[in-house]
């Protein structure tokens, strides 16, 4: 994080990335002095309502983040930024998005948790669009032109006001990750009791193990000796009313609907109290670690891996075999995970798999048979990309093996 004083003093001359959070109410014009170098501008967590027309002078600007500000309109000047690819205006008060606010090279658009009821048809005229996050708005329909976004791979439309499953997605040949829970067409009023309902006083929360968009996972201990549950537990306490993927309640319902599977993180109990929603889970053994890393700003929708990371073809095949089983189990329960990625996959040294993170999951039992088959095909592409990503880190000595070629063909078949 940088300071306004650093910017004003000229200390930041030549930097490529600028992050300013200083309760700003006006755009600091000193930023324009960075026009020859600035590629990423992060103005999140301020009080901004507008951007000046002069921001178009930032000719090298590729990415702008302005989440948690006070914008009510997506600024039209963004469309004049000739190299802008990524626009992130999460958690503002945006109700209007005009055609002129969408950059020609737009690749990644985040407008989660705003007040939009519609989007312009011009969205379909952004051929580079790969990632579109719109959860937590008031959208009643999607632009018909969305059918033209042939490169769109990830779509988040949960927690809106869509009355019907958007037919436009059936025309998107690369769509692999979709979340649509919490809309009128997909709402589920069932209260699933696949695990017991308990009180939050049943356990003590201890150290934090990790956190994501929807909640915080902590190690926990029971307040009383247990005969029903294992001693080693973790608790996921859901946070906020809406996340980048939708409503926490929908995540918990989907997780409970899926039930148990040897390669899924096991849910043991649920907590539903005023302003407190939680899942009690079996504690993941310490030897498990994340298989991959989340997508980067460059990779956009595809997982990343540490430098020089490799896997033998035997371990890759073992992981994929287990993930096939998870995929079949999820869709037998009519649940789309929506986030089938290596970074959501835990493995140990023997390539045993535990899969979790249902933040983007959507139940789809209420859809028509043809729509259900479409959802399964879409998530099949995610499995194909998962296989493809692992093959990219395959040990060089195994890259010409028969097993490698079989998995390559499987990925191609899933892509259709």
Q: What are the binding residues?
A: 236
What's the half-sphere exposure (Cβ side, CA atoms, 13 Å) at 85?
A: 13
Calculate Rg over the CA atoms of the chain: 22
Using an 8 Å Cβ cutoff, are 41 and 56 in contact? no
Residue whose structure tokens are 């002095």: 33
DSSP secondary structure letters along 69-136: S--SB--GGGGG-TT--EEE--SS---B--GGGS-TT--EEE--SS--S---GGGGG-TT--EEE--S
Report residue 253: phi and psi, to 5°: -65, -45
Residues whose CB is less than 8 angstroms from the CB of residue 28 and which lie 6 or more positions away in sequence, other chains included: 4, 7, 8, 20
The whole-angstrom separation of Cα 336 and Cα 326 is 11
- Range 14-17, long-range pairs (CB < 8 A, 24+ positions): 16/40, 17/41, 17/42
| Residues placed in the known binding site for ATP | 236
Residue whose structure tokens are 């973790």: 234
């Amino acid at each position: 994080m940088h300071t306004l004083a650093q910017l004003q003093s000229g200390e930041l001359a030549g930097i490529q990335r600028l992050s300013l959070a200083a309760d700003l109410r006006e755009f600091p014009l000193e930023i324009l002095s960075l026009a020859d170098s600035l590629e990423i501008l992060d103005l999140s967590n301020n009080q901004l309502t507008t951007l000046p027309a002069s921001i178009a002078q930032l000719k090298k600007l590729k990415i702008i983040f302005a989440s948690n500000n006070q914008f009510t309109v997506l600024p039209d000047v963004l469309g004049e930024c000739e190299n802008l690819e990524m626009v992130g205006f999460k958690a503002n008060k945006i109700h209007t998005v005009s055609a002129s606010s969408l950059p020609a090279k737009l690749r990644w658009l985040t407008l989660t948790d705003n007040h939009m009821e519609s989007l312009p048809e011009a969205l379909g005229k952004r051929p580079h669009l790969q990632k579109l996050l719109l959860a937590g708005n008031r959208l009643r329909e999607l632009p018909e032109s969305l059918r033209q976004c042939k490169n769109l791979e990830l779509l988040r439309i949960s927690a809106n006001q869509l009355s019907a499953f958007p037919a436009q997605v059936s025309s998107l040949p690369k769509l692999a990750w979709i979340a649509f829970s919490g809309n009128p067409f997909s709402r589920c009023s069932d209260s699933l009791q696949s695990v017991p309902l308990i009180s939050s006083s049943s356990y003590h929360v201890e150290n934090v193990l990790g956190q994501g968009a929807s909640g915080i996972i902590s190690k926990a201990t029971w307040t009383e000796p247990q005969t029903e549950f294992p001693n080693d537990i973790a608790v996921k306490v859901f946070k906020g009313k809406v996340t980048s993927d939708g409503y926490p309640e929908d995540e918990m319902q989907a997780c409970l609907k899926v039930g148990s599977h040897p390669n899924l993180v096991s849910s043991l109990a649920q907590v539903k109290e005023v302003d407190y929603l939680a899942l009690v889970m079996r504690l993941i053994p310490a030897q498990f670690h994340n298989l991959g890393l989340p997508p980067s700003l460059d990779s956009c929708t595809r997982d990343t891996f540490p430098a020089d990371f490799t896997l033998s073809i035997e371990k890759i095949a073992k992981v994929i075999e287990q993930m096939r089983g998870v995929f079949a189990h999820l869709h037998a329960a009519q649940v789309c995970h929506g986030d089938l990625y290596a970074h959501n996959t835990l493995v140990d040294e023997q390539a045993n798999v535990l899969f979790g993170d249902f933040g983007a999951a959507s139940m789809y039992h209420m859809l028509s048979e043809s729509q259900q088959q479409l959802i399964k095909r879409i998530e099949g592409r995610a499995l194909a990309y998962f296989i493809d990503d692992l093959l990219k880190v395959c040990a060089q000595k195994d890259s010409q093996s028969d097993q490698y070629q079989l998995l390559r063909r499987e990925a191609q078949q899933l892509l259709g």
